[in-house]
Structure 1
């Protein structure tokens, strides 16, 4: 049986994976470090799955999101928003453009 087609990550999903990578790298944590911290928080995510989150190959469910926020000592919303600390766009590139530094898209507001 084949898997149903998976929809691509949207802006929040991409912000999440980029923020996780950025925070992990800023803290000089390996995937193993994150895996251990998540296990201590009661939500184990194996190293290979963390790597897949990093590349956008694995989606994050709500329980993963809450555990990741706890591990990084942030609110859930902080993981979903564009990174305001990007020195290039400050989380808000012009509408229609994508920041080449952090990957945030300047989407029009409806």
Structure 2
């Protein structure tokens, strides 16, 4: 597939392509990169500054500074499992809105480096098919 100027191919994010080198233990994977992009897009759509969002997240019991939100949005900080819940509450959305793409434009969803789901529609209707084809207890 030819690459676009942004380094993506066919609407896929760069992380969806196979790597020539192994991923470092703490490097963001596809879901972390998607969360970073979705967080920024959702925050800017409200519109909220990072400072305003930090106050709202902190009010929900998850203390967070503006520079922490900036680092998450830039993919420079990983999130704890509780962070997307507090961020979603502060952004008045659902946690899956941070984790999954709003639509699946090219009939695939990169779940992990090794696992891609072929699907159509929106993530809430396609997610069960990802787990249905996996062995019990595994994706």
Larger RCO (CA under 8 A, 6+ residues apart): 1
Any gaps of 5 or more consecutive residues in structure 2?
Answer: 1-23, 109-114, 119-139
CA distance, structure 1, for counterparts of residue 26 and residue 92 of structure 2: 29
- 1:51 is matched with 70
Map residues 87-98 of structure 1 onto 2, 5 A cutoff: 91-93=104-106
Map residues 1-110 of structure 1 onto 2, 5 A cutoff: 6-84=25-103, 91-93=104-106, 108-109=116-117
> Deviation at 1:62?
0.9
> Deviation at 1:72?
1.4
Q: Deviations over 1:41-87 (max 9, x none)?
A: 11111111111001000011111111011111222222100133xxx
Q: Deviations over 1:16-50 (max 9, x none)?
A: 11111001111111000101101111111111111
SS at match of 1:83: coil
Task: Please give the TM-score of this superposition, normalised by the length of structure 1.
Answer: 0.70
Larger Rg: 2
* Superposition RMSD in Å: 2.0
Task: Please give the TM-score of this superposition, normalised by the length of structure 2.
Answer: 0.57
After the TM superposition, which segments of 4 or more aligned residues of structure 1 sit over 2 Å from their partners?
Answer: 91-95, 107-110
